[in-house]
Amino acid sequence: TQQLLSSPVPRARPYRICNWDRSIRKGLVAESLRELLDKVRATLLMVGAISLVLDEDGTSVETEEFFQTLEEGTVFMVLGSGQTWRAAKVAGYQL
């Protein structure tokens, strides 16, 4: 139909998610930010508001259109209420 042809169909892509202290790290497949958030809540058993930031630098990912520009395999950190992103310790410089 016209509607199907007019916009590209999003396809499920693999991502990796970790929790705030990076003690949990899982692979998930999703075709949208909304779907990824739903799967994160279900797999990490989180309730309430959660947000996703890029693990590499803490960039907040809030919109579907920015999400769709990210590459397969992008690593997200999941933040619940009161949790904040911190840079990962650099190998060789453990304090």
Nearer to its own copies, 16 or 41 (CB): 16
Sole residue written with tokens 């619940």:
80
Interacting residue ranges for its own copies, rule: CB under 8 A: 12-14, 16, 24-29, 43, 53-54, 57-63, 65-66, 69-70, 72, 87, 90-93
Q: Name the minimum Å distance from CB 67 to its own copies.
A: 8
Nearer to its own copies, 21 or 57 (CB): 57
Angle at 27 between CA 60 and CA 7, to 5 degrees: 65
Q: Name the minimum Å distance from CB 59 to its own copies.
A: 5
Q: Name the minimum Å distance from CB 16 to its own copies.
A: 5
Between CA 35 and CA 11 the distance in angstroms is 12
Sole residue written with tokens 């899982």:
26
The number of CA neighbours under 13 Å toward the Cβ of 40 is 29
